[in-house]
Amino acid sequence: MERLRQAGVDFSVGTLNFLANIGIMLPYILMLLKYQQTQSATYLIALVAFYMSRAASIFYTKRLNLRSTTYLIVSLVLGAVGSLTFAMTEAVGWLIIGGLLWGYSAATIWPYFLTVKLHLSQSTDFKMKRLYWVIFLGLGLMLGVDLAAGWSYTLTFTVLGLLYLVALPGGILLDNFTNDFYQNRTTHPHGLHQGWRWALSLIGFAAIAVLTTLRKATVNLPSWLLLTIVGVALIVLAIELYGDRHVLPNYKVRLLNRGFLVSLVLLFNGFFAYFYFGSSGMYVVFALYLIGFEGGYAIFGKLGKGSTKRALRLSQVSLLAGHLLLLIPWKYTYVLGILLITLYVGYDNPTINATLYGSPDIDHDMAIVHKYRFSTYGGLLCQLVMFGLLVAVNAGAGQSVLAFFKPSDASDFWLYTLTMSWPLTLASLGISLGNILHEPKG
């Protein structure tokens, strides 16, 4: 009986580990597949609601100052509700609610899980079972049955919702394991007093919702209005950054740089790669990102020969060289440039995690959340600059904004290279140089 109970605990915690690692992407992919299958405005609206909530949640959650384990449990509950909503109904109102709840879960489950995991690694010998491939195989089988039976992803949404519920006991167990950490921690009051920032955020993310819709459907709005929306969102982002000027002052540029780089690679170049590699371009970029993200730390660690300072310098050389290669309009230098940038991201990610969590001057329960928040700021900055350029370029060329996201041929290669790829790459290079120069000495 004890072995059976332990197996149940291991499966619950292993499922939580799995959901935390894939939680930010898998729901979005499933919802996108559902929209592509149906081409329904209902699922487009739900997809936009999900995306907006995912972007906004990491800003709102940190203002409540609850313990990370509480947020983790809430994320699991809302993930279950969101997934099961998509399994049970096609009503647009319920799907919007499900998208908003699932978006919150997708944004918050990983940073809070990582925070709790780091708490445990410092205070206990608790080990988490890794069941990634077992669960991936199970979901893959469910997806295959779903498609074969013509159930339109209903089974997959249901199984994923049940997995969130299965992970709940694991979340509660981790909450119990971290009690000592919170007993020794000074609590802070709830951060609901800055109402103006909450209202400002709503304006900013309403703008993001409009821009997200531009990636999926033709929106007949005048260019001056779209540029105004981009400008308003940039102002909101600047005010938010100013409001957080005292938070992580020594690491803010580095985190903004990280977010900008990830959006430059996955968002902009995920689409721009079409003009080099056709319909397989997005998959080429995603593959390069995975290679760099997973291998960057090991590669630069090996090249650094035990010196973290040398490894850091090599990663920074890779970052700058990658930008310069992207400025050369040739597919082979393009591939190498993307790879070198993502290798830097792969090296920087675990390094900054350890640096922030290990700093005695930073609240350990908020360190990883701050990291994801400022990375999100950087990603949104890249998106806003990209959309501003795209709207202006397509207005001058007399094209729809959607033409960039759904191209039919590569005839606009030089148009987008000169007016979008080069400006975005140079902007990213400038932020990267600022990051390197801003690096704390010693």
CA distance 164 to 78: 9
Identify which of 271, 204, 259 has the alpha carbon closest to the alpha carbon of residue 381.
Answer: 259
Check: CB of residue 59 under 8 Å from CB of residue 240: yes
Least reliable range by pLDDT among 27-41, 190-204, 240-254, 317-331:
190-204
Mention every residue, 6+ apart, whose C-beta is less than 8 A from residue 110.
20, 21, 23, 24, 372
The confidence score (pLDDT) of residue 410 equals 93
Decide if pLDDT at 59 tops 90. no
Under the banding of pLDDT at 50, 70 and 90, the label for residue 442 is: very low
The confidence score (pLDDT) of residue 168 equals 94
Please give the mean pLDDT across all residues of the chain.
87
Under the banding of pLDDT at 50, 70 and 90, the label for residue 66 is: confident
Check: CB of residue 292 under 8 Å from CB of residue 343: yes
Exposed / middle / buried, residue 383 (Cβ in 10 Å: 0-12, 13-18, 19+):
buried
Under the banding of pLDDT at 50, 70 and 90, the label for residue 123 is: low
The confidence score (pLDDT) of residue 184 equals 62
At which residue do the structure tokens 């902009």 appear? 268
Least reliable range by pLDDT among 1-10, 50-59, 238-247, 430-439:
1-10
Q: Tell which wins on pLDDT, 350 or 364.
A: 350
The confidence score (pLDDT) of residue 201 equals 76
Q: Tell which wins on pLDDT, 344 or 214.
A: 344
Residues in the chain: 442
Mean pLDDT within 69-88: 94
Mention every residue, 6+ apart, whose C-beta is less than 8 A from residue 216.
35, 44, 47, 48, 405
CA distance 153 to 46: 15
The confidence score (pLDDT) of residue 39 equals 85
- 187-225 confidence digits (pLDDT tens): 554 444 566 777 777 788 788 888 888 888 877 889 999
The confidence score (pLDDT) of residue 273 equals 96
Stated as kind and residue range, the H or E segment containing 156 is helix 154-177
- 355-400 confidence digits (pLDDT tens): 888 888 888 888 898 899 899 999 999 999 999 999 999 988 888 8
Decide if pLDDT at 99 tops 80. yes
